[in-house]
Amino acid sequence: MEQVRLIRRLGGRYPALLALLAQLAATLLLAALVVLLAQFSAWRPTWLAAGLVQGLLAASFGRWLGLSRSWWWLNLAFVPALLVFAGAPLPSWVFLAAFVLLALLNWNSVGERVPLYLSGVRCRRRLVELLARRAPAFRFVDLGCGPAGTLLALARQFPRAQFVGVETAPLSFLVAWLRCLGQGNCQIRYQSLWRTDLAEFDVAYCFLSPAPMAALWNKACAQMAGGAWLVSNSFEVPGVAADEAIELHDWRRSRLLLWRLPGKS
């Protein structure tokens, strides 16, 4: 166990090295399983099936060793992606399934012009610092919460506050709802952000796109109480300067933009 703790500490500083270790361990274990299978059965897995098993093993090893969820997906997809680009044959249903999956995750990008964006760890840390300024029992809404990673992390950080996520992409809503079932101060609604009454909340957070920001600002001003916050990840309200702009220093050059609402007009 001491060796595992040492590896995890090393991985905290060098996550790519830990991901490589997970890939190597998964490959060795898969090779051993294939050899055993060859001794007792005539069945042989396809290259793609073997790649998917290797990806699952690598992703599982990575999580066990302490890698973040973003590395889980990278470990899962790395070898299958290599096989696909190398020309491994795919059954036709894979493309249909991929299309349906993308549609269910980005359902609201058509009607609301809002694709699926994920906030990231740096954003969550900054949100925690911002929310710590408010009274403990604040009410927070995530307008387009996606799979609720950020919402759930904040709900655990502030147990006296109330958190609501609204989402209309069917698969994102289902994942978010399932993830938040055991969190008493967190609720997921299958609801458009335009049908959400912002008067219920002290803080409204969004990571949308430039298209809806002007209308969202008007909605927030009309519904939210004076002193409430509208917080946007990256996207500005046209013609309205933010009261605070916090650089996240990530690869997207993201910022958290905070407006203090003047009250209902």
* Domain regions of the chain by residue span: 2-90, 121-260
Interaxial angle between packed helices 15-40 and 69-85, expressed in degrees from 0 to 180 and rounded to the nearest 10: 60
> Can you say how many angstroms the Cα of residue 203 is from the centroid of all Cα atoms in its chain?
20
Q: What three-state secondary structure class fits 78?
A: helix
Residue 110: is its pLDDT beyond 50? no
Q: Which residue in this structure is represented by tokens 């090393």?
A: 10
Give the C-alpha separation, 212 to 178, whole Å.
Answer: 28
Interaxial angle between packed helices 92-105 and 170-179, expressed in degrees from 0 to 180 and rounded to the nearest 10: 70
- The token pair that represents 83 in the structure block: 């096989």
Give the C-alpha separation, 63 to 66, whole Å.
Answer: 5
Of residues 238 and 42, the one with the higher pLDDT is 238
Chain segment 13-58, per-residue pLDDT in tens: 556 677 778 888 888 888 888 778 777 777 667 767 777 788 888 8
Sheet holding 255-260, edge to edge: 186-190, 162-167, 139-143, 203-206, 229-233, 255-260, 244-247
The CATH homologous superfamily to which domain 121-260 belongs is Vaccinia Virus protein VP39 (3.40.50.150)
Give the C-alpha separation, 72 to 260, whole Å.
Answer: 37
What is the value of pTM for the model shown?
A: 0.62
Max CA separation in the chain (angstroms): 76
Q: Which residue in this structure is represented by tokens 């166990």?
A: 1
Of residues 160 and 73, the one with the higher pLDDT is 160
- Mean pLDDT for all residues in the chain: 80
Give the C-alpha separation, 165 to 67, whole Å.
Answer: 26
Task: Point out the least confidently predicted range of 70-84, 149-163, 172-186, 217-231.
Answer: 70-84
Cβ-based neighbours of 63, under 8 Å, separated by 6 or more? 69, 72
